[in-house]
Structure 1
Amino acid sequence: MKLFKLPILYSFIVLLCFSGIAQTTSFSDAKQKGSATLEYFYVETPGFIENSGGGQKGICADILTGFESWVKSQYGITLNTKYVPTPKESFPTFMNKVKSGGPGVIGVGGVTITEARKKSYSFSYPYINNISILATNSSVPTISNPSEISSAFANMTALSVKGTTNEKALLELKKKYFPNMKIEYLSSNMYVSKKIAEDPKYFSIVDLGYFLASLKEYRSIKRQPAMDEANETFGFVMPKGSDWEPILSKYLKEVYLNSPQHRKSIATHLGPSALKLLDSYAN
């Protein structure tokens, strides 16, 4: 009798475990049901997606709030959404969770769209241009030309996060200008700017949002203008083949980017200086 009960008990536990896992919804199923469950996997990115008083704020949060209302008015679909944080703000963990996510998973953060990533993920239409900034402690002298970096930063160490486009940019910088560059890796971009602001021995290439947030918080970090790069775009990332991609892209391209909310959101979350800097590269 005990042997008979054991498999039943095991089956019940397995069923209970799986019933606790949220089932997200594809767009095709959502059209039939009139409702959908979406999960927003996110990695905190200053100005783009941040925790705030039990909720989320930032450019991405503004976009998704507008998207939810638009999907309701355009397709009659009610979206039930949940933000899912990334353990330890690890970017590689975040990307892996999105890749293996369900049909209604959308990855949220300062995620650069690259041709290499497109092989494994689906990306939305870009919602903002990114400027990669060479950042140092404010006590480090300003260089006027990239060729000066090997001598000016000879006793400094670069900081980066594995698998990011900023790591790739640092490796290219090392190859072209600074063959003796030493790189120290951290688990999250959140820690890179903080370490630079605290210690003049470190430098890195950081995204615009991280730089502006760090400048506001620490005042001991500065931009090296000779190394600015404005050849990247940010987008929302989804599992490969997600049928939410064309829907989110349609909203971004046809609605959000043509609305006053676009520039207002940038100014609110990144500051007016971000608008000026982005505009200077757009012209």
Structure 2
Amino acid sequence: MKWYKMVLLIVCVLAAWPCLPVKAQDFTGQGDSWQEVFANKKGTVTALYDDIEPFIYMNREGVLEGVEHEIMESLKPYLKKKYGIELTIQWERAGSFNNIYNTVKTTRRQGIFGWSYYSITPERRKEVQFSAPYMPDLNVLVTNNREPMYATSQEFTVKLKDMNAYIMPGTTMEEDVQSLKEHFYPSLPVKKVDLDYDVLRLVAGDKNGFGYVPLSIYIVALQKGIKVKRQNVLSSRREGFAGVMPLHSDWKPILDEYFMSEDFRLLTGTIVARYLGSEVKDLVFGPAEQKAASATLHTLDLVSLEKEIVTKRLMDTALEVQRHQSMRNSMLVALFFIVLLTGVLYSRYRTKQKLNRQLQEHNQQIIGQHKKIGHMNRLLKLKVLQARMNPHFIFNSLNSIQYFIAGDDKKASLQYIGRFSAFLRKVINYGDELSIPVTAEAELLKEYLWLEHCRFPGRFDYEIKTGPNIQQASILPLLSLGMAEETLYKGLLNLPPAQKGKLVIHFNTENNCLVVFITDNGMARSQAIALEKKKGLNGQENMLESRIELFNAQNGKKIIRKIKEAEHAGDDNISILEIPQPLFSQEQA
């Protein structure tokens, strides 16, 4: 082969290189199947990603975070809690949006997941499996800031002949641009970039530029100071954002089970609000819940949020300028005061004023310390009362263990000892805390009632319910347990042996309060107290009341306790605790 033919061949290969199909990138992570993980009670999967804020990215400390990172990581505690499985997730950066997708599509491993805010589309469903969508998928049309606001879609499509489109290849944003090109202006120039933020930056620098980006990316771009304009026309909505898995993967059923759970729904809202803000979370999730084409955007709310972001950015810029001016002025003022302070009389006057202020501040510190000491004393009393809660329960439980052992019931003995030790460990752990999450209190209550149910088989049934918004609520440790114990011993266990008791405890939040609602079909409290006095016994009510009274003595907001006795046969006794939230003010905590 002659030399010029060789050169021509090399030139042709290099020219065709960009057009070659994208090959999936090799990766080193594990990809265990769900069947293997379930059988072994442990395993490792690989999650492929590429940096894109706020979905998944490295923060300033070099730690991986973001909406999709937290969603994938939250699978581990779910599997641990429900199936006792220890799952390890290996995060591996895969280079790009398309490379992640192609790798997942072609891999032979089952435990491989791809995360890069993938839109669910019918075409992609033929190549990969999707998790259930974790958030709605809404693409908005953005233009350069100098473009006018278009009132109708027709006004914008007429202008297409003068505009340039920017797209990220392989995405639904590219599909939206191609749809405009196909239907309205086939000669539309289209330029490809690597990231959605590149699309926004190029649109911001091109007076005739436009493109599509997800609503969440647009909001983050505004907060970063990228100057683009969102048009109220031609937005597009798809089923939602989701993670991707190989078509042959057996992980989809368990992933769908978790994504459809109530815990995941609440967690997703919290995660999105943390990275985008509660206002953006409401905007992103709101339209999907309305299920109406006319509700594609909460237009007024979104416009208000846009103005707020832009105004804050302008104010930050103005404050930065003002800060520099203040520093310069401060230097001039300092020089001026140096001259003035050379006067002896002024110096003495300033010294006297300074001493007076120091004396006042010292007095205020003494008053503040006195208040803090009083507050600490009250908290110490709360802890002392807390430590004295229910010691008789421990001795009763030991008697039950002795009963099981004497009856040669080894299985029941071991089970009871195991649950009793777990309960006792929690009581000890919470013994030094002033407050605990209400979810922890509910779990402690479940352990306690299970133990009592074993001690008194067939005497009562119980049920514990929790409302949807209690995750952030807190409570004094063992407070609801004290109420449950009082209900059990004064109400249910005083019933005739042939009558079975029923205890229902419900935790909910209402009007900045945690409400503990307890109902039972046992003996009325006044009758129980009279019966105890007749037997010469002292009740445990004073301990519970003392804790509530001590808490109320040091707080503006009070714990309110209400008891309504059954008036007629068949009625239930009702006990209610209304606990203010937050439990302690920042100063007290």
Q: TM-score range by the shorter chain?
A: 0.7 to 0.9
The share of aligned pairs that are identical, in percent, is: 26
Distance in structure 2 (CA, Å) of the matches to 1:199 and 1:175: 22
Q: Render the CA deviation track for 1:212-236: whole Å, top value 9, x for unaligned.
A: 1211112411211112222331111
Say whether 1:189 aligns with 2:196: yes
1:146 Cα deviation after fit: 1.3
Partner of 2:81: 73
Q: How does 1:96-245 map to 2 (within 5 A)?
A: 96-101=102-107, 102-245=109-252
Q: Is the 8 A contact 2:193 2:199 kept in 1?
A: yes
Task: Give, in whole Å, the separation in 1 of the partners of 2:191 and 2:289.
Answer: 33
2:72 to 61, 64, 67: 64
Q: Which amino acid aligns with 2:184?
A: Y
Answer yes or no: is the 8 Å Cα contact 2:128–2:244 preserved in 1.
yes
Q: Distance in 2 between matches of 1:193 and 1:98?
A: 28
Partners of 1:200 and 1:134 in 2: CA distance: 15
Cα pair 1:132 1:229 within 8 Å, conserved: yes
Secondary structure at 2:218 match in 1: helix
- Opposite residue 163 of structure 1, the aligned amino acid is G
**Cα offset, 1:242, TM superposition:** 1.0
Do 1:99 and 1:239's aligned partners in 2 also have CA atoms closer than 8 Å?
yes
Kindly indicate whether the alpha-carbon contact (under 8 Å) linking 2:120 and 2:238 is maintained by their aligned counterparts in 1.
no
The reply on whether 1:31 has 2:31 as its aligned counterpart is: no
| 1:149/1:177 contact within 8 Å kept | no
2:100 corresponds to? 94
Match of 2:256 in 1: 249
Greater Cα radius of gyration, structure 1 or 2: 2
CA contact (8 A) 1:137 1:220 kept: yes
State whether residues 30 and 90 of structure 2, in contact with CA within 8 Å, keep that contact through their aligned partners in structure 1.
no
The Cα of 1:281 is off from its aligned counterpart by 4.8
Pick aligned residue for 2:281 from 263, 272, 275: 275
Query: What RMSD, in angstroms, separates the aligned Cα atoms of the two structures?
Result: 1.9
What's the secondary structure of 1:203's corresponding residue? strand
- Structure 1 distance, partners of 2:164, 2:263, is 40
* Shift in alpha-carbon separation, 1:153–1:141, aligned structure 2, 3 A: farther
Q: Structure 1: how far apart are the matches of 2:52 and 2:229?
A: 19
Residues 251 and 93 of structure 1: is their aligned pair in 2 closer, same or farther, counting only changes over 3 Å? Answer: same
The 2-side partners of 1:267 and 1:221 are apart by 23
2:274 is equivalent to residue 265 of structure 1? no
| Structure 2 unmatched ranges of 5 or more | 1-26, 291-589
Measured in 2, the distance between the counterparts of 1:191 and 1:184 equals 11
Report the CA distance between 1:184 and its aligned residue.
0.8
Amino acid of the structure 1 residue aligned with 2:148: P
Residue deviations 1:20-57, cap 9 Å, x none?
93332111001121111111101333221122232222
In 2: Cα distance, 1:226 partner to 1:46 partner: 25
CA distances 1:204-256 after superposition (whole Å, capped 9, x unpaired): 01112221121111241121111222233111101112111111111111144
Show structure 1 runs of 5+ residues with no match: 1-19
Instruction: Sort the Cα spacing of 1:22 and 1:229 in 2 relative to 1 into closer, same or farther, 3 A.
Output: closer
Q: Deviations over 1:167-216 (max 9, x none)?
A: 11111112223333211111333421222233333210111222112111
- Greater shift in the superposed pair: 125-134 or 143-152: 143-152
Letter in 2 for 1:230: R
Query: Any runs of at least 4 consecutive aligned residues in structure 1 with deviations exceeding 6 A, and if so which?
Result: none
Amino acid at match of 2:92: V
Which residue in 1 is equivalent to 2:62? Answer: 54
Please report how far the alpha carbon of residue 96 of structure 1 lies from its aligned counterpart in structure 2 after TM superposition: 0.8
Given that 1:147 and 1:177 are in contact with CA atoms closer than 8 Å, whether structure 2 keeps it comes out as no
* Mapped partners of 2:287, 2:194: distance in 1: 32
Whole-Å separation in 1 of the counterparts to 2:106 and 2:238: 28
The one-letter amino acid paired with 2:143 is T
Q: 1:280 and 1:122 mapped to 2: Cα distance?
A: 25
- Greater helix proportion: 2
Q: Give CA deviations for 1:56-76 in whole Å, capped at 9, x if unaligned.
A: 222112212221110111111
- The CA distance in 1 between the partners of 2:142 and 2:272, in whole Å, is 21
Aligned AA for 2:124? R
Are the structure 2 counterparts of residues 248 and 135 from structure 1 closer, same or farther at C-alpha, using a change threshold of 3 Å? same
**Contact kept? 1:27, 1:244, Cα under 8 Å:** yes
Instruction: Output the CA distance in 1 between the equivalents of 2:240 and 2:199.
Output: 21
Task: Specify the code of the residue in structure 2 equivalent to 1:74.
Answer: K
Secondary structure in 2 matching 1:248 = helix
3-state SS, counterpart of residue 250 of structure 1: helix
Give the letter for the 1:26 counterpart: S
Structure 2: which amino acid aligns with 1:277?
A: L
Paired residues of 2:142 and 2:211 also in contact (CA < 8 A): yes
CA contact (8 A) 2:105 2:247 kept: yes
In the TM superposition, what are the counterparts of 1:5-16 in structure 2 within 5 Å?
A: none
The 3 A distance-change label for structure 1 pair 194 and 81 is: same
* Deviation of 1:81 (Å): 1.3
Using the size of structure 1 for normalisation, the TM-score is 0.85
Q: Find the residue that maps to 1:224 and give its secondary structure.
A: strand
Q: 1:56 & 1:119 partners in 2: Cα distance?
A: 31
